[in-house]
Structure 1
Amino acid sequence: MTLEATFGTDDYARDPGGELRELREAGPVHRVELPGYPPLYLVPRHQEARELFTDARLRKTRPRLPSAEPDPGPGPEGIYVVGRQLLSTDDGEHQRLRRLLTGWWSRAAAARWPEIIERHTADLLDGLAAGPAETDLVAAFTRPLPLRILADVLGVPRTEVPALQEALHVVTGSAAPDCPQLRAAHADLAVTWFRLAKEHAGEDTLLGMLGLARQEREITLVELTSLLTMLLVAGAHSMSMFFPRAVLLLSGPPPVSDSGYSGGADLTAALTGDDPAAQEAVAEELFRLCAPFPLASHRYATEDLNLWGTPVPAGSLVLPAVAAANRDPRAYAEPERACPGRRQAEPRHLSFGHGVHYCLGATLARQQARIALARLYQRFPRLSVTGAATWRNYVVPEPTALPVRLT
């Protein structure tokens, strides 16, 4: 099976890192042809992928190519999030926009998040407990939870959450960038963000700060709306993809190993125990093995490159394949197994990126993983997966349903 054919298979959807294993072992760089993308090169090994995050020859902004070059077609920067935001800017522009948000993702701000996460987790778990034992965990828990949390963190009124959830579902689908439904969803989001920012400008919330920044012309309207859409995708959609994968891993059979490790039972025992450090260590390994986005966000080659022996033409997309890199045996001992508390000699995983574009919301994501999974298994210690998960999107597969039994 070719690499292009691997995308879209059930095996890839369930375990992108596992399915890209042969690719990683075959070499450090691979060209892929995917509909709707410019020439694309995947880098699946840890050291090489890590270097890409800080390679100055790779940029988030698409370079201008000579007019003789053919139109490369729409790139990924025009699919999930359009406009000017952290994932589509470089250097001073990126630093300016990041500084605008940094105070709202500080250690002081993070101290308030556990209460928000606990409250929304408890509310949804109460709903699960009151319903049938057989249920879809995605619809009832893992999809609504991250957006509810993010709305509170941003200062978005709860009444706006259903419409944002619907728009988010459309913009993170696999439709072509010129699809009318996708264009309409982006337009609706822009109108919603403009209205909310205007209504709440000056309030002591991130939304209020951005609204005031727009009124005072510190940011443009495009920057306002695209920053908020980026936070919606990176803050809510990413976690709604992570949680079902984590539950699948925790529910799987014990790995074959000489280490004495017994698999999901040990992980859930640590998660539901009273040692915060052990809980954090489990969450970190789950992020390594269940990267929300199997491929890092786009980067363009600004010149003709030679990457580890592979020629890469200017204008090409170069993507770190983090799901594969996170399991590179060159970087990790027993890379396919969850080993909480890995030795310090092993590198940090790449699920949150590296360098200047390191995920601004990594602390919020870690808190959600630790708290929500701990409370889920404390409430339902015998939770079991009862059927196959279903998925959509063929390159960045998203769980759409996960049947479970709660007792």
Structure 2
Amino acid sequence: MGQHLDAVTLDPTGRDVYAEIEKLRGRGPAVPVVLPGAVRAWSVTGHEHVRALLADPRVSKDPHQHWRDWREGRVPRDWPLANFVSLRNMFTAYGPEHGRLRRIVSAAFLPRRVQALRPRVEQVTADLIVRLAAKPASEVVDLRAELASPLPISVIAQLFGLRRAGWTTLRECVDNLFQTTVSSEHAARDRARLDVLLREMVEEKRREPADDLTSTLLHGAPAEGDQPLSDEELHDTLLLMLGAGFETTLNLVHNLVLALLTHPEQRELVRVGVASWSDAVEEALRWAPPVPHVLLRYAVTDLDVGGTVIPEGDAIMVSYGGAGRDPDQHGDRPDVFDVLRPSRRGHLSFGHGAHFCVGAPLARMEAELAVSALFDRFPGIALAQPAAALPPLGTFLVSGHAALPVFLHPAGGFGRPLPPLGPVRP
């Protein structure tokens, strides 16, 4: 693979993903890495190099055309992370085909449509806050399970038009999509359950269209000259939107709450109006991107990345976590959470170029509404254990923790808000 550089084997559990990113940054602009399953790729961590690759037409997301190891069978089809590369949707499309798929999906995320979702997001948030308020003052509450997770899954399920009976199955299956330590058998089981759920929903919407995303994708008229989605493309598009609309928003909310709990001086800047909730959301996106590493892109031709050549046909893993903490872009202390950081909006956490996330405005809306409502209702909220002791997620693809235990009412007898803990590993 390209130049003779020693490959770095990534920790599949993501135990200390930012220390690993800094190790990669120190080795050069493009570094060979080994992914779970002994799959090889290149990691790119610098802001400018990541930004350039995201916008370069010589970089593809279609493994069927441009990933040599996939085409030639060296990566098995039951690779546990195959869902990130094998689906046929706009995430894995290239060139004109990507343009067609993106035009169809983007019609469902026009600004007016996203704003029309605001009352729904506000209602889901209000219901979750009411449930939290009803808990005993002394109870330790897991905000990941009680707020960060149910909010996006409720929003995306309603957006899809999925009946409530399917919400639990949806959540369980999507939770495991991003696990990099799961076995091939477990991944296949979850994928099969999810396939059945989505196909049943699609058949229902085919018979009885409604005012929801699935019906729009099924029955909406594509742009002139575009072919409508095939059944496979529709199914894989729904899978894409599940992963993008659930797991990323979940971890954005999680990381923003954690940042504000461990940086009370930053929370105070927001409370008194020196900074806005939008500032806090953008800084959280930079400081702890919901997806620190993105699988995968492919070199359509030999690519020069800062003097290192990535050969045609090789896979590339871009690091939003590396770009977000690049000192050349974000200053001398990029590991510090600072809601007034001048470069807070200059992150790449929703991508850049042709594949910029169409759901970014909705994710921002959900995070801002949820976290502002949480701190307004529970101003004394505090972590129930030190941030360094929070349980890991067990993956390097998304950032966060397996739980976020808090006291909602620490003044009620269970201690006081914790003092600043210094730099925290998200």
Q: Secondary structure of 1:399's match?
A: coil
**Amino acid of the structure 1 residue aligned with 2:62:** T
**Amino acid of the structure 2 residue aligned with 1:91:** G
Please show how residues 194-343 of structure 1 align to structure 2 within 5 Å.
194-201=199-206, 202-212=209-219, 218-252=228-262, 264-272=263-271, 278-333=276-331, 334-343=333-342
Q: Secondary structure of 1:391's match?
A: coil
Q: CA deviation at 1:61?
A: 0.9
Change (3 A) 1:172 1:233: same
The percent of aligned pairs where both chains have the same amino acid is: 28
Q: Would you say 1:193 and 2:193 are equivalent positions? A: no
Per the normalisation by structure 1, the TM-score is: 0.86
Change (3 A) 1:81 1:157: farther
**Amino acid of the structure 1 residue aligned with 2:152:** P
Q: CA deviation at 1:341?
A: 4.9
Q: CA deviation at 1:356?
A: 0.3
Q: CA deviation at 1:350?
A: 0.7
Cα distance between partner residues in 2 of 1:117 and 1:270: 25
Change (3 A) 1:136 1:332: same
**Amino acid of the structure 2 residue aligned with 1:158:** R
Q: Say which of 351, 355, 358 aligns to 2:356.
A: 358
Q: Judge which range, 277-286 or 91-100, deviates more.
A: 277-286
Change (3 A) 1:19 1:244: farther
The Cα offsets for residues 98-157 of structure 1, whole Å up to 9 and x where unpaired, read as 111212111111212221221111111211221243122212221111111122233333
Q: Would you say 1:107 and 2:107 are equivalent positions? A: no
Change (3 A) 1:303 1:134: same
Q: Secondary structure of 2:283's match?
A: helix
Q: Judge which range, 116-125 or 349-358, deviates more.
A: 116-125
Please show how residues 40-59 of structure 1 align to structure 2 within 5 Å.
40-59=41-60
Q: Would you say 1:404 and 2:406 are equivalent positions? A: yes
Cα distance between partner residues in 2 of 1:328 and 1:55: 20
Cα distance between partner residues in 2 of 1:114 and 1:70: 46
**Cα pair 1:36 1:176 within 8 Å, conserved:** no
**Cα pair 2:283 2:337 within 8 Å, conserved:** yes
Q: Would you say 1:153 and 2:159 are equivalent positions? A: yes
**Amino acid of the structure 1 residue aligned with 2:334:** P
The Cα offsets for residues 212-247 of structure 1, whole Å up to 9 and x where unpaired, read as 269xx8221111111111111100111222222222
Q: Which runs of 5+ in 1 are unaligned?
A: 253-263
Change (3 A) 1:117 1:267: farther
Cα distance between partner residues in 2 of 1:152 and 1:173: 25
Q: CA deviation at 1:361?
A: 0.5
**Cα pair 1:296 1:353 within 8 Å, conserved:** no
Q: CA deviation at 1:54?
A: 1.4
The Cα offsets for residues 184-209 of structure 1, whole Å up to 9 and x where unpaired, read as 32222222222212222432221111
Please show how residues 21-60 of structure 1 align to structure 2 within 5 Å.
21-36=22-37, 38-60=39-61
Q: Which runs of 5+ in 2 are unaligned?
A: 1-6, 222-226, 410-426
Query: What RMSD in Å do the two structures reach over aligned CA positions?
Result: 2.9
Aligned to 1:140: 146
**Cα pair 2:67 2:314 within 8 Å, conserved:** no
Q: Would you say 1:71 and 2:71 are equivalent positions? A: no
Per the normalisation by structure 2, the TM-score is: 0.82
**Cα pair 1:283 1:370 within 8 Å, conserved:** yes
Q: Would you say 1:95 and 2:96 are equivalent positions? A: no
Cα distance between partner residues in 2 of 1:169 and 1:97: 25
Q: CA deviation at 1:337?
A: 2.9
Aligned to 1:259: none
Cα distance between partner residues in 2 of 1:67 and 1:96: 24
Q: Secondary structure of 1:390's match?
A: coil
**Cα pair 2:80 2:180 within 8 Å, conserved:** no
Cα distance between partner residues in 2 of 1:339 and 1:67: 42
Cα distance between partner residues in 1 of 2:37 and 2:180: 10
Change (3 A) 1:213 1:37: farther
Aligned to 2:393: 392
Q: Secondary structure of 2:39's match?
A: coil
**Cα pair 1:36 1:73 within 8 Å, conserved:** no
